Amino acid sequence: RKAAEFYQKYPHIPNVASICIYPSFVETVGLAVDGTPMKITSVGGGFPAAQTFLEVKALEVAMAVENGADEIDIVLNVGRMLTGEYDEAANEVEVIRSELDEDVVLKVIIETCMLTDAEKIEMCRVVSQSGAEYIKTSTGFGGGGATREDVALFKANVAPHVKIKAAGGIANLDDARDFIALGADRLGTSRIVKAVKALEQK
The residues annotated as belonging to the active site are 73, 136, 165
Task: Name residue 40's amino acid.
Answer: I
- Beta-bridge partner residues of 42: 21, 72
Phi, psi angles (nearest 5°) of residue 88: -65, -40
- Enter the DSSP assignment of 113: G
Element (H, E) at 91: helix 86-98
Q: How far is CA 72 from CA 47, 57, 81, 124, in A?
A: 11, 11, 20, 18
By the 10 Å C-beta count (0-12 exposed, 13-18 middle, 19+ buried), 38 is classed as: buried
- Beta-bridge partner residues of 21: 42
